[in-house]
Each structure stands twice: as structure tokens, then as C-alpha cells.
Amino acid sequence: MARVLVVGSGAREHAIAESFAKDNSINKVYVSPGNDGIAGTFDCFKYDAKDKNEPFAELYNYIQEKKIDYVFVGNEQALADGISNYLEAKGVSVVGPTSEAAQIESSKVFSKNLMKKYRVPTADYAVFNDYNEADAYLEKCSYPVVIKADGLAGGKGVIIAKDQDDAKEALRVIFFDKKFGEAGSQVIMESFLFGEEASIFAFSDGDSFVSTLFSQDHKALYDGDEGPNTGGMGAFAPVDKFLHLKDRVDAEIFAPVFRGLKSEGMPFKGVLYAGLMIDGDKINVVEFNCRLGDPEAEVILPILKTSFADICEAIITKKIDGFELEFNNQYAVGVISASKGYPEAFERGKPIYFGENLSSMQGSIYFAGVKKQGDAILTNGGRVLCATAIGDSLQEAINRAYEMTECVQFSNQYYRTDIGQKGLKD
């Protein structure tokens, strides 16, 4: 029986904690820092990272005190900040890469150079440290061009410029207004990829890997994929129409990238997220992330038949070789309820009402931006919660996820009404 700690504070970490809690081999699940919604079910511990030299010292003390067997890291910032390096040096087992291997997400330049060197298909690109050189490149590149800040920017560091004027403005806000802070001191410009996006994860122990089914995020704010990009307004899994591409993704993308990271002296141990652009039989990597996706985790984990704890233990004990993943023959749909105004300004502090019927529905509410006041749960973020439901068909999962979403109400609630619809077509 193991005691496990999940690091992170969003709906993804709530879903991860629930996956562990369902597992017979886990007897206690802690979340750090978690949030007031997650704290309704799991013990949450807010650590103080004030000592910049040792930001995870308090967390380590908590791990010792609670006799935690291993740590699963949900979010990229902690990984980029070296949580795995720190805890592993102290003898704690961690599912999550070192900060060196996490550069696959924390530095787009690192990630693109790695893909090029190990021949992983991705958009052609150029790297710039200097505004004038970047500006000169705008004369000869083709449009639309995609401009990306190098560092972590919470999924917002990407600008798609339709013409030279747009691109000039993008460079100005990155280099001069420092819109993305230090993350924008280096910039990538890459060619625009056409097609449909999908996400897939691989669990790796540094030597071997095993990949999941595909899921699909809905990044745009409005129905029909219109409006600004967000952190994700909902997701569904599996994506049947891409299933036939899974072996190719393993061979052409995951195998060379894990081999590459190992050859570079930074084997990747944890969950690698590949964001793909698929256009007919062309598959390109848009991005890698060094952790599970949010909201993709909320739909992949509930349909996983294999014990999540077994996967984590296989990663820690280096037994992924030959490990097979099984999924339920079902669909999951997750609908995000956000605060109106997100991803720009929005109001917080709205009480959330949970309808009576909610407890009899088959599914889960995963909390993200919420806080507790007395007995009430109030909104406290742009993305407030994710209602996830499972069904024997995608349509059934969609219907159930929306029934749940309608059962949860707050005054400035906003959600997309077409999550999963893409999966019903072709």
C-alpha cells in the first residue's frame, strides 16, 4: 500500500488524485498545493517556496512527515524549477522529468533543436535573439507565420501573424513591451501548419515508453473553434479517427525523441505530451509538454483501465519495457466552466451552486479556480471547474457532461456548447 503526493493545483491534479484514489494499492493521496475544491476530498498542503535556493524544502519536510512513498508532478513550472532533481537527490521517488529533460517544454528552442537533430517531424523554424534580425526575416518568410516566445508562458506565448504588419507588431510586443517577460528574450518563427490538432501522451522510464490513446483539447474560447486561445475549454477521448496513426506516432515521434533525450544525457522519466498537427497522412509535432495535459488528463485518466499506480510504479522501477496500457471501451468528455471574460479580465468570488441531481450523475467535477468561504465554494479563477462524464458512445458522454455542467451554476458562468462535436464528424 502506497502513499502518494500529487503536485499542482488545477483540475488536472484533481483528476490525477482521483485516479490514484480509485486504486486498491494506494491508501492515501495528498495534493500540494491543491485548491479549496480538491481539499473537499483530499488533504492539501500549501508549501511556501520563499527560499529561492531551496523552493521545495518545505514540501520535502511534509513528504517526510506524511511518509509519502512517491510524488507525481502535474505541472510544468515545478518540473522546470527542478522539483524532481531536488527530491530525488534526497531519496524521494518522483514521476516527472528533471529540469534538464523538462526543457522539452520550458524552452521551445531546446525542443525544436532536439526535434531537428533527431529527425522528429515539425514545422521549419528559425531562432532569433535580436529584434533587428527577426525583423529582417519578415521580408522573406511566408505567411501566416507563427511567432513563439522561447520560455514558459502559460500556453499564451504563441502569436499567429497573418501578414508582415501583424508579425512586426508581434515582435515589438515581445522584444520591446516584454509581453512574455524573460520567456520572450529568444523567439522562434516557424511555418504555419494546416490540419487538425490532437494530443497523445507517453509514459517513459527513461529507456522505454508506452503511449496512450489520442485526445483532443478545445483551445479556442468560442464554439466552432473561434475566438482567442485559452488554456483549454474542454476535451474528449479517444479520438477514433486518429487511432490508425498511433503506431506511426510511436515510431516517428516518441521513439526518436526519447532516444534523443537519452543520448543528450537527460533521459526523460515521466509523462511526455505530444501536441500534434495532423493533415491527411502528415503528422507534425506542434509542441511537447513535460507532463499530462490540462484538460486532456481529465478525459484520458477516467477511461484508463490499467491501474494508474501500476504505471507510476513501472516508471519509478524502470519496468515500462513490455508494459501494456488498457483502456475501457468508452468515451470521456470534459467541459470547462469558466468565468465570463476569461482569458482577459473576469470577476471572482461568485458562489457556485451544485444542483441536487449532481450526486446521482455518473461523472466527476474537477476543481480548478475556486476558493472556500464558510461552507460555500466561490469562483476564484478563469477556468473554474471541469465536468467530466463517461459514456458508451461519444454522444452519451457529451450528453452526460453537459447535464452535469448545467447542474453547476454561478452568475458569470461561461462554457462552450460544442465540446466533443468534432469527434462525431467523419
Footprint on this chain of ligand GLY (rule: CB under 6 A): 155, 217, 232, 289, 293-294, 296
Residue nearest to ligand GLY according to CB distances in the complex:
293
Q: Which is nearer to ligand AMP, 146 or 394 (CB)?
A: 146
Residue 400 binds which entry of ligand GLY, ligand AMP, none, CB below 5-8 Å type-dependent: none
CB of 232: closest distance to ligand GLY in angstroms? 4
User: Grid coordinates standing for 210?
Assistant: 508506452
Let me know the angle formed at the C-alpha of 289 by 288 and 291, rounded to the nearest 5 degrees.
145
Q: Which is nearer to ligand GLY, 99 or 216 (CB)?
A: 216
Binding site for ligand AMP (CB under 6 A): 123, 146, 148, 155, 158, 190, 192-193, 197, 219, 275, 286-287
CB of 107: closest distance to ligand AMP in angstroms? 12
Residue 142 CB partners (closer than 8 Å, separation 6+) = 191
Residue 299 binds which entry of ligand AMP, ligand GLY, none, CB below 5-8 Å type-dependent: none
Q: Which is nearer to ligand AMP, 158 or 202 (CB)?
A: 158
Residue 37 binds which entry of ligand AMP, ligand GLY, none, CB below 5-8 Å type-dependent: none
CB of 146: closest distance to ligand AMP in angstroms? 4
Q: Which is nearer to ligand AMP, 8 or 231 (CB)?
A: 231
Residue 192 binds which entry of ligand AMP, ligand GLY, none, CB below 5-8 Å type-dependent: ligand AMP
Residue 294 binds which entry of ligand AMP, ligand GLY, none, CB below 5-8 Å type-dependent: ligand GLY
CB of 229: closest distance to ligand AMP in angstroms? 6
Number of H helices, E strands in the chain: 14, 24
For 232, left (φ over 0), alpha (ψ -120 to 50), or beta? Answer: left
CB 79 within 8 A of CB 291: yes
DSSP state of 42: S
CB of 188: closest distance to ligand AMP in angstroms? 9
Nearest CA to 269 out of 87, 39, 5 is that of 87
CB of 195: closest distance to ligand AMP in angstroms? 8
CB of 338: closest distance to ligand GLY in angstroms? 14
Dihedral pair phi/psi, residue 298, rounded to 5°: -70, -15
Residue 197 binds which entry of ligand AMP, ligand GLY, none, CB below 5-8 Å type-dependent: ligand AMP
Q: DSSP string spanning 103-129?
A: HHHH-HHHHHHHHHHTT--B--EEEES
Task: Please state, in angstroms and rounded to a whole number, the distance separating the CA atoms of residues 59 and 43.
Answer: 14
Q: Which is nearer to ligand GLY, 260 or 334 (CB)?
A: 334
User: Grid coordinates standing for 33?
Assistant: 498545493
Q: DSSP string spanning 145-210?
A: EEEEESS--TT--EEEESSHHHHHHHHHHHHTS-TTGGGGSSEEEEEPPPSEEEEEEEEEESS-EE
CB of 369: closest distance to ligand GLY in angstroms? 16
Residue 296 binds which entry of ligand AMP, ligand GLY, none, CB below 5-8 Å type-dependent: ligand GLY
Residue 289 binds which entry of ligand GLY, ligand AMP, none, CB below 5-8 Å type-dependent: ligand GLY
- Which residue pairs, CB below 8 angstroms and at least 24 apart, start in 260-265? 260/114, 260/117, 260/118, 260/120, 261/101, 261/104, 261/114, 262/206, 262/207, 264/114, 265/100
Kind and range of the H or E run holding 376: strand 376-379
Q: Which is nearer to ligand AMP, 146 or 404 (CB)?
A: 146
